[in-house]
């Protein structure tokens, strides 16, 4: 049957329950941004996720929603773990704990401009990227890899890659406690060993940016965002290790579902009860991959500092925040323990939340929203009483598939356009660059306004790109 979509407010649409749906879907978006039901499967995916055992309240879609493997990207779904609630690897995605770190330099863009080319060369030199080999850190033997899987960014800092103060600004202080390195398979470890401290390809990037707009003076001041301030946004995840874990567990859960009496409308929604052998092992392996992703961003943040030091003599960058946008977490909401899947959605803790460091607690969590290498990016803040289990959008969201994107431009034209806009590009193959053309993404300003209008988060500052290292 076709989906029935009911507009509830200018920023909120309900997908009515039908068929095997246990809860409705809720899409936070505007009429302009609403996916085209005839051309896009993402809202049908919301409805399919709403059939999963134990799902509660509603399956939510953020304004940047688009098609993904099983779950849509920009989707949030929570299951009640004490009532048979499941975890689904497709609800986390292949790049487990992919996320964003924002570093702040003690420098105005005017002072960086004369050194920008040198800085971009230094960053291109310091940041391993692309599909192939090359990483900041090659763990010696299994003990070091175990350390990364169990200790995340915390272990990286212990080993001299960064400052203890960095961890105050990392979600979960840089490491999930319940990681089980033993649940990570041999092939995943093998892939992981060679990629600790590497950007990856495609959509992953390291971008030098400057604050161009401040919307909330008080919060911006607390965050340290002033007009002209130079920042560095790092977007990467758990590389081949996370990818392999997702592959391994989708396969394992596919064959286990029968035993738990679970049937799903789409194989890509393979899942298992959180409290089951398969569910528990996945949670442990996923947390280990998440820690790997956090160590990865910690290492690249440290490499960024060295590059700044060499090229501009200002290596004293501080971390504003580091947050994952592909993760499932056990959280308490009301009286229930829920497994909250956020896939292409960012945790957005409200003011006063105990998981925030004391200096950020009065204003709420920084929510990091990349837009595109041409359009710009945003910093938002978590707000009280937000719907969707304290989640917000994670980007502008894809509008065109990679295949469609490459047909809209050429690498030479895109490079020239970015250069004319004062944006220096390093790395990226011709194909990789055109797949990531700003055209390929939705209008980040509209997405962020929808996010704010829907009461998911509040605008704090806008960031403009000045240089980008693409994976
Ligand atoms: P994802 O995690 O879904 O791959 O990407 C998150 C978001 O990053 C995308 O929805 C897009 O808006 C944004 N993005 C992709 N490439 C770039 C880039 O080069 N620079 C910036 N600032 N944002 C980007
Ligand atoms: Mn990723
Ligand atoms: Mn990502």
pLDDT tens-digit series, residues 257-301: 999 999 999 999 999 999 999 999 999 999 999 999 999 999 999
CB atoms within 5 A of ion ligand 2 belong to: 95, 98, 237
Longest CA pairwise span in the chain (Å): 64
Nearest to 104 by CA among 237, 220, 238, 215: 220
Gyration radius (Cα) of the chain, Å: 21
3-state secondary structure of 344: coil
Give yes or no for residue 133 having a pLDDT over 90.
no
C-beta of 371 in contact with ligand 1 (< 6 A): yes
> Which residues have C-beta within 8 Å of that of residue 217, sequence separation ≥ 6?
none
| Mean pLDDT, residues 77-85 | 98
> Which residues have C-beta within 8 Å of that of residue 162, sequence separation ≥ 6?
153, 156, 298, 301, 302
Q: What is the pLDDT at residue 2?
A: 85
| Mean pLDDT, residues 13-35 | 97
Give yes or no for residue 405 having a pLDDT over 80.
yes
Nearest-atom number in ligand 1 for the CA of 376 is 22
Give yes or no for residue 201 having a pLDDT over 90.
no
What is the C-alpha separation between 433 and 81, in angstroms, rounded? 42
Q: Is 353 a catalytic residue?
A: no
> Which residues have C-beta within 8 Å of that of residue 344, sequence separation ≥ 6?
62, 64, 65, 66, 68, 72, 73, 74, 75, 93, 325, 326, 394, 395, 397
3-state secondary structure of 294: helix
Give yes or no for residue 112 having a pLDDT over 90.
yes
Give yes or no for residue 1 having a pLDDT over 70.
no
Q: What is the pLDDT at residue 38?
A: 83
Torsion of CA 180, 184, 190, 194, to 10 degrees: -50
What is the C-alpha separation between 65 and 75, in angstroms, rounded? 7
What is the C-alpha separation between 102 and 117, in angstroms, rounded? 21
Q: What is the pLDDT at residue 358?
A: 97
E strand or H helix at 187: helix 186-193
pLDDT tens-digit series, residues 319-336: 999 999 999 999 999 999
What is the C-alpha separation between 460 and 449, in angstroms, rounded? 12
Place of tokens 């947390």: 287
C-beta of 205 in contact with ligand 1 (< 6 A): yes
Q: Which residue is catalytic, options 66, 306, 394, 403?
A: 394
Q: Which of 207, 371, 378, 447 to mutate to test the pocket of ligand 1 (most atoms within 8 A of CB)?
A: 371
Which ligand sits nearest to residue 96's alpha carbon? 2
C-beta of 396 in contact with ligand 1 (< 6 A): yes
C-beta of 68 in contact with ligand 1 (< 6 A): no
3-state secondary structure of 122: helix
3-state secondary structure of 254: helix
pLDDT tens-digit series, residues 357-379: 999 999 999 999 999 999 999 99
* pTM metric for this prediction: 0.98
Q: Are 240 and 192 in contact (CB under 8 A)?
A: yes
Six token digits for residue 337: 């323990």
- The partner residues of 99 in beta bridges, in order of sequence, read 236, 324
pLDDT more than 90, % of the chain? 93
| ipTM of predicted assembly, 2 dp | 0.99
C-beta of 435 in contact with ligand 1 (< 6 A): no
Q: Are 379 and 367 in contact (CB under 8 A)?
A: yes
3-state secondary structure of 367: strand
Give yes or no for residue 132 having a pLDDT over 80.
no
289 alpha carbon to ligand 3 midpoint, in Å?
14
Confidence band for 130, pLDDT divided at 50, 70 and 90: confident
67 alpha carbon to ligand 2 midpoint, in Å?
15
What is the C-alpha separation between 17 and 13, in angstroms, rounded? 13
Confidence band for 471, pLDDT divided at 50, 70 and 90: confident
What is the C-alpha separation between 286 and 92, in angstroms, rounded? 9
| Distances, alpha carbon 313 to alpha carbons 119, 164, 308, 342, in Å | 10, 22, 6, 39
Query: How far, in whole angstroms, is CA 63 from its chain's centroid?
Result: 15
Q: Which of 63, 324, 370 to mutate to test the pocket of ligand 1 (most atoms within 8 A of CB)?
A: 370
Q: What is the mean pLDDT of the chain?
A: 96
Buried b (16+ CB within 10 A) or exposed e, 393-418: bbbbbbbbeeeebbeebebeebbeeb
| Mean pLDDT, residues 131-151 | 86
What DSSP designation does 170 have? B
Place of tokens 């850190």: 137
- Which protein residue's CA is at the shortest distance from atom 3 of ligand 1? 344
E strand or H helix at 247: helix 239-256
Phi and psi at residue 28, to the nearest 5°: -90, 105
395 alpha carbon to ligand 3 midpoint, in Å?
8
C-beta of 377 in contact with ligand 1 (< 6 A): yes
Nearest-atom number in ligand 1 for the CA of 64 is 10
What is the C-alpha separation between 272 and 258, in angstroms, rounded? 10
C-beta of 91 in contact with ligand 1 (< 6 A): no
* Helix 141-158 / helix 186-193 crossing angle, nearest 10 deg: 60
Q: Of 78-82, 127-131, 170-174, which gets the smallest average pLDDT?
A: 127-131
Residue ranges in 362-443 assigned as alpha helix (H): 402-406, 411-420, 430-435
**First-residue to last-residue Cα distance in the chain:** 41
What DSSP designation does 55 have? B
Confidence band for 77, pLDDT divided at 50, 70 and 90: very high
Which ligand sits nearest to residue 201's alpha carbon? 2
| Mean pLDDT, residues 103-130 | 95
What is the C-alpha separation between 345 and 213, in angstroms, rounded? 23
């Amino acid at each position: 049957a076709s989906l029935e979509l009911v507009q509830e407010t200018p920023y909120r649409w309900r997908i009515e329950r039908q068929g095997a749906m246990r809860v409705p879907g809720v899409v936070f978006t505007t009429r302009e941004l609403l996916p085209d039901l005839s051309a896009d499967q993402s809202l049908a995916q919301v409805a399919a996720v709403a059939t999963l055992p134990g799902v509660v309240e509603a399956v939510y879609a953020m304004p940047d929603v688009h098609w993904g493997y099983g779950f849509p990207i920009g989707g949030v779904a929570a299951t009640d773990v004490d009532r048979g609630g499941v975890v689904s690897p497709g609800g986390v995605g292949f790049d487990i704990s992919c996320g964003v770190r924002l570093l702040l330099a003690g420098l105005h863009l005017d002072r960086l401009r004369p050194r920008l080319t040198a800085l971009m060369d230094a960053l291109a030199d310091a940041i391993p990227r692309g599909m192939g080999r090359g990483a900041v850190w090659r763990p010696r033997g299994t003990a070091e890899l175990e350390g990364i899987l169990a200790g995340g960014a915390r272990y990286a800092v212990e080993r001299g890659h960064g400052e203890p103060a960095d961890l105050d600004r990392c979600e979960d202080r840089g490491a999930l406690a319940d990681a089980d390195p033993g649940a990570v398979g041999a092939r995943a470890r093998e892939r992981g060993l060679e990629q600790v401290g590497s950007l990856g390809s495609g959509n992953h990037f390291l971008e030098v940016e400057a604050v161009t707009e401040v919307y909330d003076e008080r919060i911006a001041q607390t965050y340290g965002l002033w007009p002209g301030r130079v920042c560095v946004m790092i977007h990467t995840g758990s590389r081949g290790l996370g990818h392999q874990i997702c592959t391994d567990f989708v396969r394992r859960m596919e064959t286990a579902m029968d035993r738990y009496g679970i049937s799903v409308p789409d194989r890509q929604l393979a899942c298992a009860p959180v409290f089951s052998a398969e569910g528990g092992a996945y949670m442990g392996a996923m947390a280990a991959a998440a820690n790997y992703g956090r160590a990865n961003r910690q290492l690249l943040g440290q490499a960024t500092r060295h590059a700044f030091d060499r090229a501009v003599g200002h290596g004293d960058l501080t971390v504003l925040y580091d947050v994952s946008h592909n993760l499932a977490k056990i959280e308490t909401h009301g009286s229930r323990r829920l497994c909250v899947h956020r896939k292409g959605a960012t945790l957005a803790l409200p003011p006063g939340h105990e998981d925030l460091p004391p200096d950020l607690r009065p204003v709420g969590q920084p929510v990091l929203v990349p837009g595109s290498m041409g359009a710009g990016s945003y910093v938002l803040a978590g707000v009280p009483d937000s719907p969707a289990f304290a989640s917000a959008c994670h980007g502008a969201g894809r509008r065109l598939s990679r295949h469609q994107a490459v047909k809209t431009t050429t690498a030479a034209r895109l490079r020239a356009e970015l250069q004319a806009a004062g944006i220096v590009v390093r790395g990226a193959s011709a194909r990789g660059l055109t797949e990531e053309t700003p055209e390929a993404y939705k209008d980040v300003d509209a997405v962020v306004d929808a996010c704010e209008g829907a009461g998911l988060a509040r605008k704090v500052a806008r960031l403009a790109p000045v240089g980008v290292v693409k994976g």
